[in-house]
A and B are shown apart, each in its own frame.
Chain A
Amino acid sequence: MTWICSRRRGRALLVAMAGLWLFDAAQADVGQIKVATGQVSVERKGQSLPGRVGLVLESEDVLRTGADGAVGITMRDNSLLSAGPNSILTLEHFEFDPTTSDGRFDARLRRGTLAVVSGRIAKKSPQAMTVRTPSAVLGVRGTEFVVSVDE
């Protein structure tokens, strides 16, 4: 009996660990830089990386463009985000299940200009994607739009 119990507990632990691993995996590769011109950098955990084409992005990355910079990214759910010069764009939260299209995507434009084409997350559930500006929350219903924030 105790043997069965401990085996069950072991299995529960395994399931929990698998869940954590999936969560980590979801955070580690949320999208990729597909287009970059001029000065582009990515802030990650206090470090600044050059925002080169091909760079794989993570949740909480902050993308910055200089006066001559622009950057375009494709997210795992096929959302397309592109920012013009002098922009600060944060990928605050991204999770996505490719089998079911369930997930959550929150981005934030602190400054600059941003063009958005929403992807599978917003298509599956209109409440699941938002873009925040300093003063507003934009809800996305299967959409292309542009947004700007002047400082």
Chain B
Amino acid sequence: MNRLACAAVVAAMLLVACAGPKETVVLLPNPAGQDTAVTVTQGTRQVVLAQPYAGARLGPNGAEAFPSNAQQVRAQYGPALAAQPLPPAQFTLFFVEGKDEFTDESKRIVDSVFAEIAKRPVADVIVIGHTDTVGNDAANDALSRQRAEVVRAAFAARGLASDKVVTIGRGKRELAVSTGDGVAEPRNRRVEILVR
């Protein structure tokens, strides 16, 4: 009889334990291999998750660290992970010096941009024009905007609606290759394209 009561108490305790944590956080591995972390703060207490699949359960007694793994994450977060949008894809097109004309190689990259757009149900495209350091700021700002607009027009000619494209001109502020002023550098005469 006593034993039965004991078993009942143990079973009840197990049930309470199983009802378990209401909130869970798990850090995922970073494909780029950078150092990443999530801090979990509850009141004055803090747990830092810094290893892949490090987890924290948040219960009434604060955050408790636990090791998770790929299978657990798939089982609990499968639908959320399956709904993750494609990460933005980046492309760079290069221009002939002082002009708003693509180099021949860049004409082929445009094909890749359109392949990427086709992969996405609602692609939005950001086009950022840059120049090298030949010429003054005003001229380069204008040229970089003009280059971005050339890309927008080229994309429009291939059927991409202009309202899906945001153009930005950064002039010579963000050089891909750092040079002194007044240096003709083909790698800086570029337009970056972000397909999102």
* Chain A residues within 8 Å of B196, by CB: 34, 74, 78
**Which one of A36, A82, A133, A136 contacts B84 once the chains associate, using CB atoms below 8 Å?**
A82
Question: Chain A contacts of B27 at CB under 8 A?
Answer: 143-145
Pair B41/A34 contact, Cβ less than 8 Å: no
Q: How far is the CB of A36 from chain B (nearest CB, A)?
A: 8
Chain A residues near B25 (CB, 8 Å)?
133, 136, 138, 145-147
- Across the interface, B73 reaches (CB within 8 A) one of A72, A82, A136, A146, namely A146
Q: Establish whether residues B36 and A146, one from each chain, have CB atoms under 8 Å apart when the complex forms.
A: no
A23-39 contacts to B (CB < 8 Å): 32-37
Tally of contacts, chain A with chain B, CB under 8 A: 145
- Interface size (A, Cβ < 8 Å)? 46
Instruction: Name the contact of A72 in the complex, choosing from B38, B41, B84 (C-beta under 8 A).
Output: B84
Cβ of A47 < 8 Å from any Cβ of B? Answer: no
Contact segment of B95-103, B116-124, B138-146: B116-124
Q: Identify which of A113, A136, A146 contacts B40 (C-beta below 8 A).
A: A136
* Nearest B-chain residue to A144, judged by Cβ: B28
Q: Within the complex, what minimum Cβ distance (angstroms) separates A56 from chain B?
A: 9
Name the one of A34, A134, A141 contacting B38, with C-beta atoms under 8 angstroms. Answer: A141
Q: Is A128 on the interface with B (CB-CB < 8 A)?
A: no
Query: Are A136 and B41 within 8 A (Cβ)?
Result: yes
Q: Which residues of B contact A135 (CB under 8 A)?
A: 22-23, 42, 58
* Chain A residues within 8 Å of B41, by CB: 136-139
Q: A136-B40, A141-B36, A150-B23 are in contact. Are A84 and B122 (CB under 8 A)?
A: no
Q: How far is the CA of A149 from the CA of B76 in the complex (A)?
A: 11
Provide the bound-state CA to CA distance between A78 and B194, in Å: 10
Known: A34-B122, A136-B23, A136-B58. A82 touches B38 (CB 8 A): no
Produce 1/0 per residue, A21-62, CB < 8 A to B. Answer: 000000000001111110000000000000001100000000
Task: Specify which chain A residues have a CB less than 8 angstroms from the CB of B22 in the assembled complex.
Answer: 134-135, 149-151
* CA–CA, A70 and B39, complex, Å: 26
Q: Interface readout for B77-90 with A: 1 if CB under 8 Å, 0 if not?
A: 11111111111100
B24 in contact with A140 (CB, 8 Å): no
Report whether B23 and A80 are in contact in the complex, using a CB–CB cutoff of 8 Å: no
Q: Determine if A103 is an interface residue (Cβ-Cβ < 8 Å).
A: no
Q: Would you call A115 and B88 a contact (CB within 8 A)? A: no
Question: In the bound complex, how far is the Cα of B58 from the Cα of A148, in angstroms?
Answer: 10
Q: Give the complex CA separation of A83 and B78 in angstroms.
A: 10
CB <8 Å contact, A54 and B122: yes
The minimal Cβ–Cβ distance linking B100 to chain A, given in whole angstroms, is 22
State how many angstroms separate the Cβ of A122 from the closest Cβ of chain B: 10
When distances are taken between beta carbons in the complex, the residues of chain A under 8 Å from B120 are 34
Distance, CA A9 to CA B76, complexed state (A):
59
The 6 closest A-B pairs by CB, nearest first: A84-B80, A34-B85, A139-B39, A84-B79, A70-B83, A72-B83
Interface residues, chain A, with chain B CB atoms under 8 Å away: 32-37, 53-54, 70-74, 78, 80, 82-85, 87, 98-99, 112-115, 117, 133-151
14 contacts between A and B (CB under 8 A): A33-B122, A82-B82, A84-B79, A84-B83, A113-B76, A115-B77, A117-B84, A133-B25, A137-B42, A141-B39, A142-B35, A144-B27, A146-B26, A148-B77
